[in-house]
Amino acid sequence: MKALMFGWEFPPHILGGLGTASYGLTRGMAQQKDLEITFVIPKPYGDEDQSFLKIIGACNVPVVWKENSWDHVNNRIGQIMHPDEYFWYRDHIRYDFRRIGTNELGCIEFSGRYPDNLIQEIGNYEAVAGVLAHSLSFDVIHSHDWLTYPAGIFAKQITGKPLVIHVHATDFDRSRGQVNPTVYAIEKRGMDIADHIICVSNLTRNTVIEKYHQDPRKVSTVHNAVDPIPNVEEFVKTPRKEKLVTFLGRITMQKGPEYFVETAARVLQRTKNVRFVMAGSGDMMNAMIDLAAARGITDRFHFPGFLKGRQVTQMLADSDVYMMPSVSEPFGISPLEAMQVGTPSIISKQSGCAEILNHAIKTDYWDIDAMADAIYSIVEYPAIYETLSKEGRNEVNQITWDKAGLKVRDIYNAVVR
């Protein structure tokens, strides 16, 4: 079976959990030897792992016919795409996309990020999907998150192939209910047209059914998993006297960063032997710096900025507690990553991963007293720390992407006639 997947991020160049989940799921699915995955992203960099799938950069697919020599194409994009592939796509342009700005290759310049003109980039990505739909052979279309739903719909309309959309989050999660009508319309149209909808948790599935009015029979839950950390034994805690509590993620209202700061203030009223780290970036970062100052805890509070790769793993390994106080978290992979290196996790009951984790402490995101009590217990009582560390590590090592991949394959089999 051949799957054409549309995504927006892919490691090592990621901006959030979407890229991590896309990588893990596709790698897990690739263990099915009869499955061939082509994964489209707006802008590849050439250092992505393509050992188990093929990556196509939308920025290298021509949507407007331009006269070019083989050598010129090779000089421009040869390090990422073979010129023969470029010319194959050029020969399968079927629509007039001259209204879209293109470079001398007839390709669209994508940022590969989440720019201010994101809606425009989503529309441009849809145009690329039209060329790919006419150029490639595949059995099923799989679109990851709302940014790629229009592309998946266009490919379905052209080929008649079934469309599976993967809901990693909804705008109800990202906006705390203050939904952007444009985003909602894109999400709902994708869900309405999809042959099947995959949600990363039951929490998200309920949102899709209730807020987007979808038939429960075509909505399934496939919980996320976590990739094994290579050479995990290398990541050990740096010896120190003070305890470390970490928040790691986008510093936005969805993630509840203010509850982390307020919890830190409560803990520091009881003990001074703890430091708090808020790692990441986002539109609430300055507000959180101001809040920490207002609570008088800046001498115990640190903002290291955006971390990636080994920096993330080492930060989690150095932590005595990982905390995710998300207001609405469709899943949340980071607690699983923390537990892989033996770090106890405190997660909100309003997160999808709470549905499958038994050895993490769960509280309501707004219950500052409960979160403070949990942190205090873990950092002050070694027996609690050791139990959560050991049992948590054992638990997450059983939550693997190949199992999630088999569930997705069952969905493919059901929609492919």
- Residue 177 pLDDT exceeds 80: no
3-class DSSP state of 64: coil
Q: Which tokens is 16 given?
A: 């959030």
Confidence label for 51 from pLDDT (cuts 50, 70 and 90): very high
CB contact set of 315 (below 8 Å; sequence gap of 6+): 246, 248, 277, 279, 304, 307
d(CA 28, CA 410): 14
d(CA 48, CA 10): 7
* Proportion of the chain above pLDDT 90, given as a percent: 91
* pLDDT tens by residue, 328-376: 999 999 999 999 999 999 999 999 999 999 999 999 999 999 999 999 9
d(CA 326, CA 318): 22
Q: Which tokens is 263 given?
A: 């919890």
Confidence label for 14 from pLDDT (cuts 50, 70 and 90): confident
- Residue 163 pLDDT exceeds 90: yes
Q: Which tokens is 315 given?
A: 């930060």
Residue 121 · residue 110 · CB < 8 Å: yes
- The residue extents of the domains of the chain are 2-225+402-415, 232-396
pTM: 0.91
Residue 28 · residue 403 · CB < 8 Å: yes
* Proportion of the chain above pLDDT 70, given as a percent: 100
Q: Tell me, what's the pLDDT at 17?
A: 83
Q: Tell me, what's the pLDDT at 232?
A: 85
Count, residues in the chain: 417
* pLDDT tens by residue, 106-121: 999 999 899 999 999 9
CATH class of the domain defined by 2-225+402-415? alpha beta
The domain 232-396 is placed in CATH, from the list 2.60.120.10, 3.40.50.2000, 3.30.70.890, 3.30.200.20, at 3.40.50.2000
Please determine whether the domains at 2-225+402-415 and 232-396 fall in the same fold group of CATH. yes
Q: Tell me, what's the pLDDT at 29?
A: 97
What does the H/E/C string look like for 349-413?
Answer: CCEHHHHCCCCCEEECCCCHHHHHHHHHHHHHCHHHHHHHHHHHHHHHCCCCHHHHHHHHHHHHH
Burial class (CB in 10 A: 0-12, 13-18, 19+), 257: buried
* pLDDT tens by residue, 125-157: 999 999 999 999 999 999 999 999 999 999 999
d(CA 280, CA 345): 18
* pLDDT tens by residue, 60-91: 999 999 999 999 999 999 999 999 999 999 99
Burial class (CB in 10 A: 0-12, 13-18, 19+), 106: buried
- Residue 16 pLDDT exceeds 90: no
Confidence label for 309 from pLDDT (cuts 50, 70 and 90): confident
Mean pLDDT in residue range 279-301: 96
3-class DSSP state of 57: strand
